[in-house]
Structure 1
Amino acid sequence: MERPRHLNSLGYVIAGSATERASSQAMIAWGEKPNGVLVHIDDAAAGLADGLKCACGAPLVARKGKIRVHHFAHKAGTVKACEQAQLKALGQFARKTFLQAGELILPPIGGRRLTVTVDDIRNEIFGQCAGVWITTVRGEKRSEIAVLLVVRRGRQRPSKAHFEALKKSAMWIDLTAYRNRADHEIVHAMTAAHDRDWIFNARHPDRRVRSASNEATPENPQSLPPRRAIASPPKVKPSITEDEWQRLHYTELRRRVFGWSDKEWRGRRR
């Protein structure tokens, strides 16, 4: 049985950890050996013994005390968090997840959800966002779609115009509600059908999406079009424990409290 880990593969403290409260700040969870092999903090020797380096190139010290959560820090200072390390970890985790899944569920188009096969995949950092390019092969035709992963609010993502100029589709998956979860829960969020939308769809370029060039995104709700009035929800007596408030996804909480499914909620927002 795999031993429990205080940090997930994205570098975030797992909610419910006995050593430290969940945090919105990612720590360095992976170090790289000279031969390119990645080592998780739980498998690293304390201190400098393994000679590991960060994604940014800085030597790493494994901090493995008895009070604070285990993490890597830069040798030259006290840096526990490193944006390059977090972006690389997220991209590598996404690559592994989609390769194992073998398919990608696309955001809806005209009410229909489609999937594409994952024939090849490569990582790319899009500014402040991690992501992957997924290649699908149909006969002699190859097409690519960019998948951007969002784990922190306020991250600036490439605009619709960026992918429109490339004539390639791009989508985003919102993982902010899952960043402090265990790896298997993050995998489920990446491969499930919800919490994703188009940035640009090359086959349907005029389709209005939340992630348009004006950054109409959940991270910037002021730019979203005004919502119509929502009818009073049915009176449903919630039965939710404190633990469930912390670990359940907001779509499930919404269903418990208001009795609305995800499809009903989307319909009410139109």
Structure 2
Amino acid sequence: MTNQPNTIETKAELLYGKKDNQIVHISEVDSGLECDCFCPACNSPLIARKGTIRTHHFAHHQGTDSQACVETALHLFAKQVLMEHKKVRLPEDQLSAEAIDHHGKKHLKTLLINAEKIEFTNVDAEVFRAGYRSDITAYPYENQNLDIEICVSHKVDLDKQEKAQRSHACMMEIDLSALEKDLSQKQIIQAVLYDAPRHWISNPLHRALEKQLQAEVEKLVFEANEEQPQKIESAPLTPKKPDNHMLLGFKVGHGYSPRYQKNFELCKLYTSRQVVSTSTRNLTCSHSGGFELEEFDLDENCIGKLEHLSFPIEVKLIMGSKLHGRKFVPVVLDLKTM
């Protein structure tokens, strides 16, 4: 039996109804038909079931409760929360630009834009413009608007994304698909305003900053290309200290093995060593010389340190071991440059 994702499941209870054109929580109404509520999705009369055994919830007075009604109710309640509270936490964003000069050196610039809490001066629902209709349109600053999309079961489709980007609209999406079904009203409000995952669909200001980063990187590349290349002597492949290694490079990735029919991850470190000239049972070595490749498993914590090195370079390897199958194999836990 496979585990189901942590989303609103088919058995999720209907916790929100519509009363006097407002979305209300089950805790806010009287029990039974006296709640005077209707389904936000199909507009059928609801019964407020507030017994002592099951979690309090709404049920359709006639007909069958459905997943679509639960999702629609949460979607409408989330929109109502934004319209009533007039504030939200914006997504963070990681901007980057890179280019490689004629010498093969990569130049990189990054900018982290932290999440920010903002308030609106005004807010509208279902605003239609530029060929699409947004769930919520907020107006945090003068002459500036922010489209907010609510995802309960369906993310913003590609067509709406492209229309928002073409019209230079500022659009974000709040993802409520993983909310637990039995959260309280207060917890859902907190999730909508601040805690639920959120990301940018379109942000013209950030794209402008990204272009600025790219221009700065290209300037660095231009300056590097204008420099006269210095004569670089080949680095020796024999370390100065006998306990050190000459590090040649590393490789990190993942893939799928048709042979073993499973996914795998690759994290390897490559060093040089003098060619082994010892004969074996299957090989008689008559001549040898130079260097050969030596391969080690690599702990992922080392990747950040390796990305900033130029190869080859003399290093001291800090070794450990890890269980691979039924045996322990050596692994590089850390390294120190000389």
Bucket of the pairwise TM-score, normalised by the shorter protein: 0.5 to 0.7
In structure 1, which of residues 61, 65, 68 is the aligned counterpart of residue 47 of structure 2? Answer: 61
- Please tell me whether Structure 1 or Structure 2 has the larger radius of gyration of its CA atoms: 2
- 2:46–2:59 Cα contact (<8 Å) kept: yes
Where do 1:60-99 residues align within 5 Å? 60-79=46-65, 81=67, 82=69, 83-96=71-84, 98-99=85-86
- 1:88–1:130 Cα contact (<8 Å) kept: no
Which whole-Å CA distance do the structure 1 matches of 2:8 and 2:197 have between them?
Answer: 21
In structure 1, which of residues 94, 100, 107 is the aligned counterpart of residue 92 of structure 2? Answer: 107
Which whole-Å CA distance do the structure 2 matches of 1:125 and 1:137 have between them?
Answer: 17
Which whole-Å CA distance do the structure 2 matches of 1:121 and 1:167 have between them?
Answer: 19
Deviation of 1:183 after TM superposition, in Å, equals: 4.2
Deviation track 1:209-250 (CA, whole Å, cap 9, x = no partner) reads xxxxxxxxxxxxxxxxxxx9777356xxxxxxxxxxxxxxxx
Which whole-Å CA distance do the structure 2 matches of 1:188 and 1:43 have between them?
Answer: 18
Deviation of 1:135 after TM superposition, in Å, equals: 1.0
In structure 2, which of residues 194, 198, 202 is the aligned counterpart of residue 200 of structure 1? Answer: 202
- 2:88–2:194 Cα contact (<8 Å) kept: no
Gap change, CA 1:71 and 1:158, over 3 Å in 2 = same
Which whole-Å CA distance do the structure 2 matches of 1:95 and 1:179 have between them?
Answer: 23
In structure 1, which of residues 128, 134, 138 is the aligned counterpart of residue 138 of structure 2? Answer: 134
Gap change, CA 1:51 and 1:130, over 3 Å in 2 = farther
Give structure 1 stretches of 5+ with no counterpart.
Answer: 1-14, 16-21, 209-227, 235-270
Give structure 2 stretches of 5+ with no counterpart.
Answer: 1-5, 96-111, 211-264, 268-297, 302-338
Structure 2 match to 1:41: 26
Q: Work out the number of aligned pairs and report it.
A: 184
Task: Normalising by structure 1, report the TM-score.
Answer: 0.53
SS at match of 1:92: helix
Structure 1 match to 2:299: 232
Instruction: Point out the structure with the larger strand share.
Output: 2
Task: Normalising by structure 2, report the TM-score.
Answer: 0.44
Gap change, CA 1:65 and 1:200, over 3 Å in 2 = same
Structure 2 match to 1:253: none
Paired AA for residue 25 in structure 2: H
1:28 aligns to 2:32 (yes or no): no
Runs of 4+ with >6 A deviation: 228-231
SS at match of 2:51: coil
Determine what percentage of the aligned residue pairs are the same residue. Answer: 24
Gap change, CA 1:65 and 1:188, over 3 Å in 2 = closer
1:122 aligns to 2:124 (yes or no): yes
- 2:8–2:178 Cα contact (<8 Å) kept: no
Where do 1:181-260 residues align within 5 Å? 181-192=183-194, 195-204=197-206, 232-233=299-300
